[in-house]
Amino acid sequence: MRESRDILLFSGTSHKKLAESVAENLGVPLGKCIIETFPDGEIGVQILENVRGRDVFVLQSIAQQPNLYLMELFILIDALKRASAASIAVVIPYYGYARQDRKDKGRVPITARLVADLLEKAGATRVLTVDLHADQVQGFFNIPVDNLTARAVLSQTLKKAGLDNGVVVAPDLGSIKYAKYYASALGMPFAVVDKRRINSGHVESGVLIGDVRGKKVLLVDDIYSTGGTLKMAIQVCKEAGACSLYAAVTHYVSQEEVPESLELEKLYTTDTVPGEVSSAKREVVTIGPLLAEAILSIEHGSSVSVLFR
């Protein structure tokens, strides 16, 4: 069996802090490489380790500057492939573009599929990611995809948050699987808001299915971007008599802090995206140990399915 010290983990520039935390959990240093920007804006990469015949991992989160970080990732993979790595597993804590996973109107792309094709074309041989927006994005790849979930990690923190007599609420129909999971993990009932979106930046008000009167509400979702979805759900729950509101979201992709005006006691998120600073309104739970455990399982050829639950 291979030792964890044999693991070679490289990092792009999107989330060095998380990569360092994963490396620390694995007990290995980050692989050495140069990533630079040439005067004309092109990206240059050089791998400074021997990777010939080795299984390597590359961590890059596709958020905040998704186009830059994707291009950087493609180039890193290409460099590793041409340096004769035996396999290249990309560790993508947040898989950007996953929300563009279908043609829901005329003449739009399926960019989640395009990104999958490009990763494979560049030379990725495996993908390790967290709470993909839609599970079916796994099917866009012809290489193995391990889609971990941060729900168990967040649940551990939520168990200590004093949410007794609470109810879990899905802010839209797509989040029902999250609501069901948290409801079962925390021993709470769940309700659903039927959200309608006008466009990528605006959501229309929704209708609550379930009862929240006099209860603490825990809203659960995969992504916080503009905050529009949560804002609408908060309004609906307040009008239905909720006494206080909390939220748990895996990916906090906004570059701004949680606005004071958002009527939440606390928002629980993970550090899949950089900018992971806890504040009065936000508590950040790290997924570094989860990623390290999955990497170790892949390296040892042991099952990772327990990490999907």
Collapsing DSSP to helix, strand or coil, 269 comes out as: strand
Q: Is the Cβ of residue 227 or residue 274 nearer to ligand R5P in the bound state?
A: 227
CA gap 188, 171 in Å, rounded: 16
> Mask: binding to ligand R5P, 137-176, rule CB under 6 A, as x and -?
-----------------------------------x-xx-
| Per annotation, catalytic residue among 16, 32, 195, 266 | 195
Residues 6+ apart with CB under 8 A from 239: none
CA gap 184, 151 in Å, rounded: 11
Q: Does 224 bind ligand R5P (CB under 6 A)?
A: yes
CB of 201 vs ligand R5P, minimal distance in Å: 7
Residues 6+ apart with CB under 8 A from 40: none
Q: Is the Cβ of residue 74 or residue 224 nearer to ligand R5P in the bound state?
A: 224
Are 155 and 186 spatial neighbours (Cβ–Cβ below 8 Å)?
yes
- With helix as H, strand as E and coil as C, how does 199-244 read? ECCEEEEEEEECCCCCCEEEEEEEEECCCHHHHHHHHHHHHCCCCE
- Is 159 assigned a catalytic role? no
> Mask: binding to ligand R5P, 189-218, rule CB under 6 A, as x and -?
--------------x---------------
Are 81 and 122 spatial neighbours (Cβ–Cβ below 8 Å)?
yes
> Mask: binding to ligand R5P, 58-97, rule CB under 6 A, as x and -?
----------------------------------------
Q: Does 229 bind ligand R5P (CB under 6 A)?
A: yes
Active site residues: 195
Which residues of the chain form contacts with ligand R5P (CB under 6 A)? Answer: 172, 174-175, 203, 221-229
